[in-house]
């Protein structure tokens, strides 16, 4: 075994560490950015700063959708779009975004139904 063989045959755990894992970094950064942007969307809607929005789920922008989209894009850029990892990430992203849009739709309808009854009680 030569020195060149020893350097090229490093263990997979050494080459696939978290700092060099582009899809994982992209997913976490997208989630953090979406959560941070919720501060500004809540200020725009309510004209007040609410730092608790950074930790809340729900609302726009959707951190769930941002996370799975960034994951799928990063896997597609790194490994190509023909591999099984991209297919899994794409299907996961579609399911998460479809589910999120359905939840938002039904929450909006529920708010429309309960809003008039809330104003009648005043």
Q: How confident is the model over 91-116, as a mean pLDDT?
A: 76
- pLDDT score for 74: 96
Region of poorest pLDDT, from 9-13, 17-21, 64-68, 115-119: 9-13
pLDDT tens-digit map of 42-71: 767 777 776 666 666 666 778 889 999 999
Q: What is the largest CA-CA distance in the chain?
A: 83
CB environment 37-69: b (16+ within 10 A), e (fewer): bbeeebeeeeeeeeeebeeeeebebbbbbbbbb
Given its phi and psi angles, is residue 21 left (phi above 0), alpha (psi -120 to 50 degrees) or beta? Answer: beta
pLDDT of residue 40: 80
Tokens of 118: 């809330």
Task: Give 53 or 118, the one with higher predicted confidence.
Answer: 53
Distance of CA 110 to the CA centre of its chain: 25
- Separation between Cα atoms, residue 30 and residue 35, nearest integer Å: 9
Rounded CA-CA distance 47/58 in Å is 19
């Amino acid at each position: 075994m030569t020195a060149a063989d020893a350097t090229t045959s490093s263990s997979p755990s050494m080459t696939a560490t978290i700092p060099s894992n582009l899809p994982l970094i992209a997913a976490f950064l997208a989630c953090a950015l979406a959560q941070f942007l919720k501060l500004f969307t809540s200020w725009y809607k309510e004209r007040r700063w609410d730092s608790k929005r950074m930790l809340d789920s729900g609302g726009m922008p959707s951190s769930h959708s941002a996370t799975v989209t960034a994951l799928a894009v990063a896997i597609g850029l790194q490994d190509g779009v023909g591999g099984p990892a991209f297919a899994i990430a794409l299907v996961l992203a579609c399911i998460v975004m479809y589910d999120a849009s359905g939840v938002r739709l039904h929450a909006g309808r529920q708010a429309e139904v309960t809003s008039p009854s809330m104003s009648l009680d005043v």
